A = this chain, B = another copy of it.
C-alpha cells in the first residue's frame, strides 16, 4: 500500500517531494495528540505544531463547517470576522503591536513583513541567521541556507552565524550574546557599504530551527541595541513559539525579552486551516499600506477567521498555555531522566523540547536519525533539527498529557538503549 502510494506520488508530484521517515507513514485520521494509519495503528504525535489544539479539534472543525456553510468571501466587503479576530489577537500583544494583516501562509506573512521593513526604512537589506528557515516564497527563501537561487545568492541578504550550543559563538555560552551582536553589526556595516542599506533582522525568538541552542532571556539585548542604532526593524517570526507553546509566555519574543516591530504568525494559528498573519505597530502598517497596494484574495476570509478565533478560544478555555507550562516541565524532567553518553544537552521551553546528540563534542547526526526512525517504529512521531540535524525535536500538540509524556519517555528510553554508546 505505501509502495503504491509512493509510486503514485513520484508519478503525479515529481521527484524530491519530501516525506518523513525511511518508511513513510500513511496517515488516515487524527484526534487530539494521536494519528492513525491505514491499518488503524495509532501513533503518538510529538511533532506537529500545526494541530496546535489537537488534531481535528471539534470546536475548530465546527467553526470551519458552520462558517463555510454561511459565507466565505474576501475582505473587500465588510465582515465582522476579521475585526473580531483582530481585536482578540492584538489584545494578546504588547509593544504597540496593534494592527493585523492576514495572509494564508507563514511564508506570505514573512514576505509581507520584509516589505514592511523596507517601506519604513526605504532600504532593502536583511539579516537572518545562517541556520534558519522562514518560508518558501522567492523573497523569503533567500533568508534560508538552502540551495542557492538561480543567479546566485542575492547581495542584499546577509546571514550571520547562528547561536550554537556545542560550539558557542565567542567560545562560551556567556560570550555568545555579544559575539552574535558583533556579527550583526558587521553585517549591517556591509549592507550599508554595499548601497542596499539595512532594513531589518528576522528571527525566530526561540531559534527553533537552530535547535534552541543555549539561548536564554536577554540573549538578544546587545543585538537589539545595535539594530536600533542602525535604524532597522526587528521581525519576530512567531510561527513556532507563538500561541502559548512555550508555556511561560504566549509569545517567544516576550520570553526572550525584546520588543519587535513586526510579528509574523502561521502554522498553529488555524490548527491546520491555511491562515497566517502579520501584526505590526500602526506606523509600520501604514508605511507598508501606503508603499504597496496589497490585497490577498483568501486572506482574512470569514472561514479562516472563524478557524483562528476558535483556536484562540480553545487555548483559553482548555488552559492550553498553562498545560504547555505544566506538561512541558514534566516532559523536560522525563527527558532529563534518560541517560546516554550521546546526550550532550536536553533543553525545553513548554511543549518544545530538544535533545542534542554529540560524540566527542561533534554532532551525532546519524544517531539522531536512528532515534527518530526507532521512535517512528515504536509509533511516536518526532523529528530533528540543527545545522547537522543532530538535535531531536519534540513539539507535540498542546493537548499533550502526562500519560502521553510517560509513553514517549518509555519509548525514547528504549530507543536510546538500542544505540551503542
Contact of A64 among B64, B100, B105, B151 (CB under 8 A): B64
* Inter-subunit contact A292/B151 (CB<8 Å): no
B296 near A27: Cβ-Cβ < 8 Å: no
B303, A75: Cβ atoms closer than 8 Å: no
**Nearest B-chain residue to A83, judged by Cβ:** B8
Is the C-beta of A39 less than 8 angstroms from some C-beta in chain B? no
Question: Which residues of B lie under 8 Å from residue A297 when comparing CB positions?
Answer: 50, 105-106, 266-267
Q: How far is the CA of A293 from the CA of B141 in the complex (A)?
A: 10
Is A122 in contact with chain B by the CB < 8 A criterion?
A: yes
The interface residues of chain A, by DSSP majority, are classed as mixed
A115's contact among B18, B48, B90, B150, by CB below 8 Å, is which? Answer: B150
Is A289 at the interface (CB under 8 A from chain B)? yes
A16 to B2, CA, bound (A): 50
A294 contacts across to B, CB distance below 8 A: 136
Bitwise interface map of A from 83 to 100 toward B, beta carbon under 8 Å scored 1, else 0: 100110010000000111
Which residues in chain A, 48-72, are within 8 Å of chain B measured between CB atoms? 48, 50-51, 55-56, 58, 60-61, 64-65, 68-72
Q: Distance in Å from the Cβ of A195 to the closest Cβ of chain B? A: 9
Nearest-CB distance from A29 to chain B (Å)?
Answer: 5
Inter-chain contacts of A83 with B (CB < 8 A): 5, 8-9, 12-13
Q: Name the residue on B nearest A280 (C-beta).
A: B14
A413 at the interface (CB under 8 A from B): no
Q: Given known contacts A13-B100, A115-B150, A147-B291, is B71 in contact with A28 (CB within 8 Å)?
A: yes
Partner of A104, one of B274, B288, B303: B274
Residues of B within 8 A of A103 (CB): 105
Give the nearest-CB partner of A80 in chain B. Answer: B5
Report yes or no: A24 in contact with B65, Cβ–Cβ below 8 A. no
Residues of B within 8 A of A124 (CB): 150-151
Q: What is the minimal beta-carbon distance from A73 to any residue of chain B, in angstroms?
A: 6
B13 and A78 form a contact (CB under 8 A): no
A389 at the interface (CB under 8 A from B): no
Whether the Cβ atoms of B196 and A17 lie closer than 8 Å is no
Q: Measured between alpha carbons, how far is A79 from B98 in the docked complex, in Å?
A: 39
What are the residues of chain B within 8 A of A111 when measuring CB–CB? 137-138
Is there an interface contact between A68 and B65, defined as CB atoms closer than 8 Å? yes
Contact indicator A26/B78 (Cβ below 8 Å): yes
CB contacts (< 8 Å) of A275 on chain B: these are: 274
* A197 vs chain B, min Cβ distance (A): 9
Cross-chain contact B99 with A292 (CB below 8 angstroms): no
Q: Which 10 A-B pairs have the closest CB atoms?
A: A65-B65, A138-B139, A14-B285, A118-B150, A72-B272, A12-B86, A274-B298, A16-B289, A274-B274, A26-B78
List 30 A–B pairs whose Cβ atoms lie within 8 Å, in order of A's numbering.
A9-B78, A12-B82, A12-B99, A13-B285, A16-B286, A16-B290, A18-B295, A19-B76, A19-B77, A19-B78, A24-B77, A25-B78, A26-B78, A28-B71, A48-B73, A51-B72, A51-B73, A65-B65, A65-B69, A72-B271, A115-B149, A118-B150, A136-B294, A136-B296, A137-B137, A137-B138, A147-B292, A151-B156, A267-B297, A274-B304
